[in-house]
Amino acid sequence: MDIFRSMELHGYGDLYLRRDDSVGLRAIIAVHDTTLGPALGGCRMIAYPTEIAAVEDALRLARGMTYKAALAGLSHGGGKSVILRPQAIPNRKALFQAFGRFIEDVGRYITAEDSGTGIEDMEAVRTVTKHVTGVSPENGGSGDPSPFTALGVRRGIEACAKYKLGRGDIEGLRVLVQGVGHVGYHLCRELASVGAHLTVADVDDTKAKRAADEFGAAIAQTDEVFGLEADVLAPCALGSGLNDATVPWLRVPIVAGAANNQLAEQRHGDLLHDRGILYAPDYAINAGGLINVAHEAKGYVEAESRAQVMRISETITEIAERSARTGTATHRVADAIVHERLTAGRRAG
């Protein structure tokens, strides 16, 4: 891969690299766009097949954060960081402190936890820079973002049910939840509390069983969940679930879930639109966790964060209405709204 070519394709932006042999740090910070405010996005520490794959991941993810923040109405741009997971980590705290110094030097990127990093790591970062969120509640942090992501997804499902099915509430709504991990579990709790009928599927039997025990959910096989009849399919597992093997067989009027990058390709969003299925764009409906850490960046007040997460329903309704008015698929409408906001921000700035 040609790095500058890839930056061009993703519409960049700045890319920062740091190597600190004393602690085994090899890290990348990608700052995609800061038109609307400082870049915000999590730090991944996973093993990559190549260094270029890590750069590509950071570029792709940071761009996604620009879109998510803009659509959520946040005063933040998109950034993401990647630490190439070392073979051995003799001193994890020192590693993250070195990473924190990198963030401090960059100065326009705020980090948070992501795959392979956790609250303790963010606490270590916090000892050297204030450009960090996802620290523990005792230190002014907002804790686990998953319940907020789940709340936003519930609000998105409510908006879809109202728009598509004319329902004022979701009591008795039949929802298929694919993946009952951090977000899926809390989503089940949210939906069960307002009387939805749940069917869950997870490759991990113990997680599916927990949802069945706690929320009365029925359990489906993971390979059948995309073909079951219901009112809503909520993908909450991995990305690319909406693809050639699933979209033609869906028997739901609504797809609305937490997973990132649900569409294997953009054309699958068009296919959903053509089939008359209302798709809540992933980065619109799953922004609750990001909204929550954005509140942390400015001094955390949970009630204010919750109130903003609740308004995800308004974003989803706006997208659905504009999609119907213009005959454009919802994922394209969401992108158009982001472009309009960034253009307006550039003019104002």
146 part of the interface to ligand NAD, by CB under 6 A: yes
Q: Does residue 83 contact residue 27 with C-beta atoms inside 8 Å?
A: yes
Q: Least CB distance from residue 282 to ligand NAD, whole Å? A: 8
Q: Which 177-196 positions form the footprint of ligand NAD (CB under 6 A)?
A: 178-184
Structure tokens given for 90:
């003799």
Select the residue interacting with ligand NAD from 34, 111, 142, 286 (CB under 6 A): 286
207 part of the interface to ligand NAD, by CB under 6 A: yes
CA 150 vs. chain centroid, Å, equals 11
Structure tokens given for 248:
């033609």
Q: Between 97 and 308, whose beta carbon lies closer to ligand NAD? A: 308
237 part of the interface to ligand NAD, by CB under 6 A: yes
Whole-angstrom distance, CA of residue 142 vs CA of residue 120:
13
DSSP code string of 264-314: SSHHHHHHHHHTT-EE--HHHHTTHHHHHHHHHHT---HHHHHHHHHTHHH
Q: Between 158 and 202, whose beta carbon lies closer to ligand NAD? A: 202
DSSP state of 229: B
Q: Least CB distance from residue 177 to ligand NAD, whole Å? A: 9
- What's the Cα-to-Cα distance from 66 to each of 37, 70, 72, 80, 151, rounded to whole Å? 10, 6, 10, 10, 21
Q: Between 30 and 211, whose beta carbon lies closer to ligand NAD? A: 211
Q: Between 30 and 291, whose beta carbon lies closer to ligand NAD? A: 291
Q: Least CB distance from residue 235 to ligand NAD, whole Å? A: 8
Catalytic-residue membership of 68: no
Judged by CB under 6 A, the number of residues near ligand NAD is 25
> Which amino acid makes up residue 116?
G
Q: Between 35 and 178, whose beta carbon lies closer to ligand NAD? A: 178
159 part of the interface to ligand NAD, by CB under 6 A: no
Of 68, 80, 93, 209, the active-site residue reads 80
Q: Does residue 78 contact residue 63 with C-beta atoms inside 8 Å?
A: yes
CA 189 vs. chain centroid, Å, equals 19
Contacts with ligand NAD by CB under 6 A lie at: 145-146, 149, 178-184, 201-204, 207, 222, 236-239, 258-260, 286, 289
Active site residues: 80
